[in-house]
Structure 1
């Protein structure tokens, strides 16, 4: 097995989508860093920091030159960062030393790498937003279409009271609109340039031009201006990791429920086709719901690393920075894959009403105990009603008789009409399902319009 499933030719289509994975390839990183070097030169030329003719030559070369990522390996193994060797090869390939001498002027490796990361995170966030909108729309359709479809609500794995499948779908998506709002807040924090120089002071440029270079650099890349605090401010990346953990955790709850709802003996939903077994051809394993759980667990573990990496000692810190490299790409790939899988499941899964009805009425009617207690409490003290129903439930288990028959026998004068109907005991489930559908659809459509 490969050291990382995300890089495995065998497993990559299970745990990631290829377009997101491509953003974290060596070639994508090199291309992004070249773009950043070109934009930096362009901004410096406009501000008079370097000759404009050299700035133009560097910018053109950054668009045209190709650098083999493998050719950076030996030097990066020594220096930890690829930028020094990248800049050296860039200068050599330009074959114009009078211009090439200005490549990477005044910046430091972390400026180039952090800004190149922001360029790629812009695409990651766009993909995540697109899939989040698709997921909310799919769950909204399920919630609305099945707002009144009764099924057993379960607590501690036991039947509790009836709910609706629409309300369950709404529960899966309940956190998503707020998470979408938080993505909007994260974007301007993450999508910024970094230009602070060797120790955060940008001292290689005159103070009166340094700010102009920063502004031009950001404009050239379509990113926000460099954040205050320099290289050691890592809260935006930690916030992204935390957000991804909350998203994947929400989706894992959906996956866990679907695993239970598809198990033998329950079988309340049908999943999109997947999960065949070589040895047991009758099986359709809930592979995609299981994957949601695995990716959430992986993301949560890596989030711990990202939070620990907040501690960048002094002005820059190698250990914390390398920890980010080891963790953030997998978090991003797992995030987008989780959203993709959840959206496919939500769109194509089908509830099985006959099975849901059978699981409500198991022959005992015990699921209606709370409703009976409430009805009896209309004509007797609530504590007495509770005691009476508790006694009936004990008889139900001991005698093997149904609670509805025992109730009618014990309380022949009580009005129990309609009480033992699942549809009559849904409470706020239909309204909650429809309310979620409306809010999720509105939020998703707003995201789509902006995109």
Structure 2
């Protein structure tokens, strides 16, 4: 896929695409049907993997029919039943029993979010490797620190890159934690598991409610997700995904802002590996990746805010519109984060550091950058120390250790 409105979208490939969404919903239906069969709540001959029944060519039909019921599950289920009927009447009869549309759609979204997160985490690992290299190579490269846009005190570029590194690792760990807790949605019509419990009760199960909870555990295990209580109107799991994605774009946006600033010709301390051209000014080498990363960082938080608004407006036992607002929002946020993750890795892997320009800018600033050191020395009536590096070495070592641990955790 590619998107004229969002350059680089092709990096996200099929992730969170409409065909992927359709496939995920079918996977959910198949896993639930298999679970019912395994627990002997439906006839054994109802077993069917639902494979080959629907595909990308059916997206338009399912999408067109979604308006009448407010979601695509109803039309998909009708299509699945019609197509499985000739080969398996029992499967057509028993599929979806005990679920509601929201169970299928929510679980499918969780699966899609997991796929997107896996890609982002793979790219994040590459970013950490590139950043660790920058930190090691430039731990002693002097550069002017800047605060509130003004030159402040001398630091090293390795220290600056170490702060980038720490933020990327923190974002990666946050996303991994959310991904590890990704959960199924199974509640039935109103979150009470009444239908599945009734299926068990009418077949003389001694513990119908316990059987329903066992169904959820088996179902979750089949999908590689966590079994939890229904969360139809408790949407913290969705906002957590959004927040984790935005934390990633925050980290990359900060790096991109630094790079774009230090790549200005009048500063010249950093350069992207390949600058972008101009349609009318051939001399320009625009920091395009930094620009696109800043775009993602600016656009992501409002999308997460929409998820939070939807969560706050969830009502009763099933939401009326707030749930519906989540689907496209989460898709857009996830795809854009995947795209940004690729662009961030590319930026960092090719970032060029101009140590001579850094030294020249320091020299031009002169002794002004040591004013704080002199003022502290004056308080004690002592001469300033030979250097003003503070705990730079320890902070750099700590960042490198963090990177090493993270890379071991994610290997």
Q: TM-score, normalised by structure 1?
A: 0.83
1:74-123 superposed Cα distances (whole Å, 9 cap, x missing partner): 32122111111111111111224444111211211111111112222221
What's the CA shift for 1:324? 0.6
**What aligned pairs does 1:297-446 form with structure 2 within 5 A after superposition?**
297-311=298-312, 312-362=314-364, 364-379=366-381, 424-446=387-409
- Distance in 2 (CA, whole Å) between partners of 1:154 and 1:167 is 13
1:219-244 superposed Cα distances (whole Å, 9 cap, x missing partner): 2222221x224311210110121122
- Distance in 2 (CA, whole Å) between partners of 1:177 and 1:132 is 8
Matched, 1:113 2:115: no
Tell me if the contact between 2:2 and 2:10 (Cα under 8 Å) persists in the aligned partners. no
Q: 2:136 aligns with which of 141, 144, 161?
A: 144
- Distance in 2 (CA, whole Å) between partners of 1:270 and 1:359 is 16
1:119–1:326: structure 2 CA closer, same or farther, 3 Å change rule?
closer
1:336–1:363: structure 2 CA closer, same or farther, 3 Å change rule?
closer
What's the CA shift for 1:257? 0.8
Which deviates further from its counterpart, 192-201 or 202-211? 202-211
Tell me if the contact between 2:146 and 2:153 (Cα under 8 Å) persists in the aligned partners. yes
What's the CA shift for 1:8? 5.1
Tell me if the contact between 2:12 and 2:338 (Cα under 8 Å) persists in the aligned partners. no
- Distance in 2 (CA, whole Å) between partners of 1:379 and 1:46 is 82
Tell me if the contact between 2:141 and 2:157 (Cα under 8 Å) persists in the aligned partners. yes
**What aligned pairs does 1:123-202 form with structure 2 within 5 A after superposition?**
123-190=115-182, 192-202=183-193
Tell me the equivalent position of 2:52. 64
1:271–1:231: structure 2 CA closer, same or farther, 3 Å change rule?
same
Tell me the equivalent position of 2:11. 17
Alignment length (residue pairs): 395
Q: 1:83 aligns with which of 64, 73, 94?
A: 73
- Distance in 2 (CA, whole Å) between partners of 1:139 and 1:198 is 49
Tell me the equivalent position of 1:28. 20
1:330-362 superposed Cα distances (whole Å, 9 cap, x missing partner): 111222222222222222112111111110011
Q: 1:74 aligns with which of 64, 83, 106?
A: 64
1:368–1:205: structure 2 CA closer, same or farther, 3 Å change rule?
closer
CA RMSD of aligned residues (A): 2.0
Tell me the equivalent position of 1:223. 225
1:16–1:428: structure 2 CA closer, same or farther, 3 Å change rule?
farther
Tell me the equivalent position of 1:411. none
1:303-324 superposed Cα distances (whole Å, 9 cap, x missing partner): 1111111131011113111111
Tell me if the contact between 1:106 and 1:204 (Cα under 8 Å) persists in the aligned partners. yes
Which deviates further from its counterpart, 428-437 or 26-35? 428-437
Tell me the equivalent position of 2:283. 282
Tell me if the contact between 2:168 and 2:252 (Cα under 8 Å) persists in the aligned partners. no
* Structure 2 SS opposite 1:159: strand
1:243–1:219: structure 2 CA closer, same or farther, 3 Å change rule?
closer
- Please identify runs of 4+ aligned residues in structure 1 that moved more than 4 A: none
1:365-421 superposed Cα distances (whole Å, 9 cap, x missing partner): 3222223333444437xxxxxxxxxxxxxxxxxxxxxxxxxxxxxxxxxx67x85xx
Tell me the equivalent position of 1:397. none
Which ranges in structure 2 are unaligned for 5 or more consecutive residues? 198-207
What's the CA shift for 1:185? 2.7
- Distance in 2 (CA, whole Å) between partners of 1:215 and 1:357 is 61
1:146–1:33: structure 2 CA closer, same or farther, 3 Å change rule?
same
Tell me the equivalent position of 1:240. 241
- Distance in 2 (CA, whole Å) between partners of 1:122 and 1:185 is 11
